[in-house]
Amino acid sequence: MVETKFTAEGKSKASTWQEALDLLVKGNNDFATGSTTHPERGHETLFAQYLKQYPFAGILGCADSRVVPELVFDVGIGDLFTCRIAGTVLSDAVIGSLEFAVEVLGVPLIVVMGHENCGAFRACMNPEHHPNVKGISWQIMPIIEECRSLPGDLLYNSILANARKVSQQLRTVGPILSQKVRSGEIKIIPAYHSLSTGLVTFFDVEL
Q: Residue 191's beta-bridge partner residues? A: 113, 202
Q: Using the rule CB under 5 A, is 74 a contact of Zn ion?
A: no
**Around 130, how many Cα atoms within 13 Å sit in the side-chain half-sphere?**
15
Q: Which is nearer to Zn ion, 38 or 134 (CB)?
A: 134
- Work out the number of other CB atoms within 10 angstroms of the CB of residue 129: 14
> How many C-alpha atoms does 126 have within 13 Å on its Cβ side?
10
Our CB check for Zn ion shows the closer of 118 and 147 to be 118
Q: Taking contact as CB under 5 A, which single stretch among the options 8-16, 75-83, 112-120, 134-142 is the one that binds Zn ion?
A: 112-120
Single out the segment in contact with Zn ion by CB under 5 A; choices: 59-67, 132-140, 173-181, 193-201: 59-67
Strand order across the beta sheet in which 109-115 lies: 80-84, 57-61, 109-115, 187-193, 200-202
Q: Is 112 in the site for Zn ion (CB under 5 A)?
A: no
**Nearest residue to 76 (alpha-carbon basis) of 123, 43, 115, 103:** 43
Assess 30 for contact with Zn ion (CB under 5 A).
no
When binding is defined by CB under 5 A, the residue of 62, 83, 85, 109 that contacts Zn ion is 62
Question: Does residue 64 touch Zn ion according to CB under 5 A?
Answer: yes
Residues that bind Zn ion (CB under 5 A): 62, 64, 118
